[in-house]
Amino acid sequence: MQFNELGRTGIRVSRICMGTMTFGCQNSEADAFRLLDMSADHGVNFFDSAEMYAFPADPKTQGLSERYLGNWVKARGNRENVVIATKITGPGGRFEHIRGGGLKYTKDQVAAAVDNSLKRLGTDYIDLYQTHWPERSANYFGKLGYTGDASDADWTPISEVVDAMQAQIDAGKIRSFGVSNETPWGVLKHLETAGNTPARICAIQNPYSLLNRTFEVGLSEIALREDVGLFAYSPLGFGALTGKYLDGALPEGSRLKLFPGFTRNFKPRGIEATERYVRLARDHGLEPAAMAIAFVNTRPFLTSNIIGATTEDQLAVNLSAEDLTLSAEVLAGIDEIHNDIPNPAP
């Protein structure tokens, strides 16, 4: 397993991170323990969660992902050997059940969210704490064409967010701070505001896959020049890049079968690109999922690549990507497809 430094923090994280958003919904606690054990056995030391998980948001399952992860860490006695990342929920229409619906990144709300996560995780500190998405109106979750919003004035200034995170670092409750679903402006504003203080962001958790390489447009240069690497999520495009949904297939128990409203990766151009990527992988004797994850691993701006799985068979394929070196021919094939159908699922 390759390890990378988390920004300038000195924290070393595995290039593969195990995501836990299915824990509590698609996975029971017993399932979670098996998947976490398997990940750790393969050298993974980095585990990602969020206060809103399990996904999708539901009052009945909120917090279970953190709780299952914390219970596993306690059962295995491995807290000093793992790096735990989690996130504070931002404002939105589906999260009134979290912290009474007061979902802003103020000092009081950050403090409350951190304390709640610490309790669920059963730990004294969180290694990486992140804002889950910007509080302000911006381009994220597939939104494009930002034109400004005159009514968008009621968001916590980034200076206050940085101060709130610094207070948690000073209290010893979090070790580092990062952002998620952020834009180039947001990342640069955070860096400018924090300077060289401990609250300087160390990672950007944004989507990145063969179907969505928009990170390369504005954020990749920032990541490399400022030591704020990509913490990539959805490297399989909601499972699309496994190929299991091609030809109209909808396997029982699959995420798209359970949550059909999440169509970002399944529009016509995305399906066309997926067909070509899957064919490329199979023509070279590769598992499509392993090829897709291995491609993300090749990116120079990557810090860690978040995989997820609901079964041990899926996880075995995903973990195998860590040892997969893509040939020049495969990489050229990927570039050809991307040039023909760039970013069909932004």
Q: List, by residue number, the catalytic residues.
A: 53
Helices (H) and strands (E) in the chain, counts: 11, 10
Alpha carbons within 13 A on the beta-carbon side of 227: 11
Residue 73, C-beta contacts closer than 8 angstroms, at least 6 positions apart:
79, 82, 84, 121, 122, 123
Which residues on adjacent β-strands are paired with residue 258?
Answer: none
Alpha carbons within 13 A on the beta-carbon side of 16: 27
Cα separation, 245 vs 267, in Å, equals 12
State whether residue 326 is helix, strand or coil.
coil
Alpha carbons within 13 A on the beta-carbon side of 226: 23
Q: Helices 215-226 and 184-194 meet at what angle, rounded to 10?
A: 20
Q: What is the rounded end-to-end Cα distance, in angstroms, of the chain?
A: 29
The dihedral formed by the CA atoms of 322, 327, 332 and 334, expressed in degrees to the nearest 10: -30
Cα separation, 294 vs 296, in Å, equals 5
Closest CA to 102 of 168, 51, 27: 51
Closest CA to 105 of 181, 151, 158, 153: 158
Note the residue count of the chain. Answer: 346
Token pair for 180: 């998620």
Classify residue 319 as exposed, middle or buried by CB count within 10 Å of its CB (0-12, 13-18, 19+).
Answer: buried
